[in-house]
Structure 1
Amino acid sequence: MRPVQRLHSAYRDDIGDLVTRRPVPGPGLDRVGAFLFLNHHGPQTYPPHNRGLPFGPHPHRGFETVTFILEGELAHTDSAGHESIIREGGVQWMTAGSGLVHAEISPDGFKRTGGPLEILQLWVNLPARLKMCAPRYVGVQADAIRAIPGEGATVHLVSGAYRGEAGAIESLTGVFLSWVEIAAGGRVTFEGLRGRDVFLYGARGAIEVGGTLVPAFTLAELGEGDAVTIEAHEPALFLFGHAEPIDEPVVAHGPFVMNSVAEIHQAYADYQAGIFGVAEIVRG
């Protein structure tokens, strides 16, 4: 079983009136292998006639963003022509690849009426062979994501395979991603983890991993092993994923993640030259 080596509490880094916590990158933890970055927005309740989310058009290249909408809704548009509004329980998976501009904002309806909001956004690295692939976007609502029940735990399977079921989204690099709702007294085990980069973040409630308590808003850095069992003594929700290690240099600057400084400079030059295109703002 994989033991907990260290715990990393998410630190507050609010963006305007958006409550934001970030466990990685942070002090003592630059990344978790292929998993580069996590922003936990909320939980909070927006009043009527709010300004909504602040993520207007901005560029990316060289990695993927996976956005879990735990509460509320999120509008996506990008310069490759993709557009959607994904609601509570849904997921947006964007492969930036060679580069695009996208916007992630609140739909007009949410800004008018307000409501609860909680979103997790995870950045996943791409190997050099895929960093310049064609951009891709998949948005799925909650009813398209398989919810697999177990011993007091429900695994919401986004990508990869679990107990003979396939995730709603096919990852280009075989990444497994899920979020798990677990009741008091529940437990869930994930196997086949040997040699994989494993990502485990407690979003709500406290969970226990190998006798170590992992509070909410905490990332658990795990040791080696083939399996991990997560238990709960209170209702909880956590994000769990694993990926094939990418044994390549990682150079990240702003919205770009490449393999060299020269590639970062080229990304900025291409963006400033307009090569990434323009993202229109979604209404609705």
Structure 2
Amino acid sequence: MKTIKAIHKASYHPIADLITYNPLPSPKLRQIDPFIFLNHHGHQTYPKNNNGLPFGPHPHRGMETVTFILEGDIMHKDSGGHESVINAGGIQWMTAGSGLIHAEVSSENFKKEGGDLEILQLWLNLPAKLKMTKPRYIGLQKEEITDFEISEGKGTVQLIAGDWGNHKGSFDTLWPIFLSTVYLNQGGILQKEIPADENIFFYVVRGKVKINGAIIPFRNLVEFNNEGTTLHVESSEDAVFILGHAKPFNEPMVAQGPFVMNTQQEIMQAYKDYQDGKFGSWS
């Protein structure tokens, strides 16, 4: 069985009027290579005529973002010409690669009508050989994403990337990774085989679960030891969690602001390239 190394409680870091919790990185955990950052926004209810999400145009290089829209919506626009509005249940996967500018804001309808909002954004590192790959973006609505039942109907897996049995994830990735959102009803069980040499990303979004006798409430990140191959999770109440796993890159990582590279010199070059307009723009 997989064993727990530590449990990390998300810290509260509001952004303007946006409720935000951040479990990774933390003073005790820099990364779970190649998973490097997570922001959990909400749950909160916006009134009518609100300002929406505050993430106006900003650059990225050397990493990828995966955005989970549980409630509300996100209107995406980037310097590569991609635009979309993804609604509740949908997923966005953006490869910043060599560099782009993007904005993530609420749709005009959400700002006008308001409503519930809960969104998570996970940053994934890119290996050195892919850091300068061409940027790309894919946004999928809930109905476009693979899902299937587990635990005799007491759970549902939204399979984002990788394979589980005969099921294939909805996003084709540049490097091997498994990523999913799991919904377990009270009494549900998830059991999955994961190679011992892969790092696990496990964050409880809602409810609480039990792993090896330990109760993990929502807004907690579980760090696992690299031993055993069986992950066994039980839900003591209705729960939602993000489950991912991948082999670590074991490369130097320098993260500064919106850029994630392998050396400080590459970070300095990223800032220069951005200032020189090499990340593109839009009117």
Q: Which residue of 2 aligns with 1:118?
A: 118
Tell me how far apart the structure 2 counterparts of residues 231 and 171 of structure 1 sit (CA, whole Å). Answer: 29
Q: Which residue of 1 aligns with 2:281?
A: 278
Q: Which residue of 2 aligns with 1:238?
A: 241
- Counterpart pick for 2:157 among 155, 158, 179: 155
Opposite residue 273 of structure 1, the aligned amino acid is D
- Counterpart pick for 2:253 among 239, 244, 250: 250
Deviations 1:48-76 (A, max 9, x none): 00000000000000000000001111010
Q: Secondary structure at the match of 2:186?
A: strand
- Counterpart pick for 1:166 among 165, 168, 180: 168
TM-score (norm 1): 0.97
Deviation at 1:279, TM superposition (A): 4.2
Say if 2:214 is the partner of 1:212.
Answer: yes
**Closer, same or farther in 2 for the Cα pair 1:206/1:113, shift >3 Å?**
same
**Equivalent residue pairs, number:** 280
Opposite residue 279 of structure 2, the aligned amino acid is F
Q: Secondary structure at the match of 1:41?
A: strand
- Counterpart pick for 2:199 among 182, 197, 202: 197
Q: Which residue of 2 aligns with 1:78?
A: 78
Deviation at 1:227, TM superposition (A): 2.0
Tell me how far apart the structure 2 counterparts of residues 214 and 279 of structure 1 sit (CA, whole Å). Answer: 44
Q: Which residue of 2 aligns with 1:21?
A: 21
Opposite residue 242 of structure 2, the aligned amino acid is L
Opposite residue 30 of structure 1, the aligned amino acid is R
Contact 1:57-1:279 at 8 Å conserved across structures: no
Tell me how far apart the structure 1 counterparts of residues 282 and 234 of structure 2 sit (CA, whole Å). Answer: 43
Tell me how far apart the structure 2 counterparts of residues 27 and 267 of structure 1 sit (CA, whole Å). Answer: 26
TM-score (norm 2): 0.97
Q: Structure 1 unaligned runs (5+)?
A: none
Deviations 1:135-159 (A, max 9, x none): 0111000001111101111110001
- Counterpart pick for 1:269 among 253, 268, 272: 272
Q: Structure 2 unaligned runs (5+)?
A: none
Deviation at 1:130, TM superposition (A): 0.2
